Amino acid sequence: MTIPKLNFFETMIMAKNGNADAQFILGLMYNEGKGVPQDYTKAVQWFQAAADQGIAKAQHNLGVMYVTGTGVPQDYTEAEQWLRRAAKQGNAYAQLTLGQMYENGVGVAQSDAEAERWYRRAANQGNTDALAMLAEMDAPDASSPYVVVLAP
């Protein structure tokens, strides 16, 4: 992202003129209540504008807002679509979130294979949460017939 440090009004002008990075920044500001009153509906509007222009971070954030129903009605189908767009661009957080959706069957058919596939993509980018999820998936459960012994 190559936006110089601007004040709110300069950022708003750039966003209204279609600058996707400025739109994403406004989404963050409204989502977190930084420099403006927190307003999830406005955050969604600005994330949507940036996401429509292909900003992967905005697509991820929009997807998460649809998963949680923050600023929009909860909609897992919409969430999955936005997360998939971001994940296909290599956004490791979107890949992690898709993995969680598939592992838990949230808004998609439960599939450990799909969960593992998305976790691996995120882990290959160094996402430590994805690495932990993979380790958890690979861990034997209490009824496992074998015991893992760590070297001293």
For the chain, list the domains and their CATH numbers.
8-125 (1.25.40.10)
Name the residue with higher pLDDT: 32 or 140: 32
What confidence score (pLDDT) does residue 17 get?
97
pLDDT category, 6, cuts 50, 70, 90?
A: low
**What are 120-141's pLDDT values in tens digits?**
999 999 999 999 999 988 876 6
What confidence score (pLDDT) does residue 123 get?
94
CA dist., res. 43 & res. 61, Å (int): 9
Across all residues in the chain, what is the average pLDDT?
A: 90
Distances (CA, A) of 122 to 83, 97, 128: 13, 9, 8
Written as one letter, the residue type at 50 is A
**Largest Cα span, the chain:** 63
Name the residue with higher pLDDT: 146 or 44: 44
Prediction pTM value: 0.85
CA dist., res. 102 & res. 135, Å (int): 16
CA torsion angle 75 76 78 82 (round to 10): 130
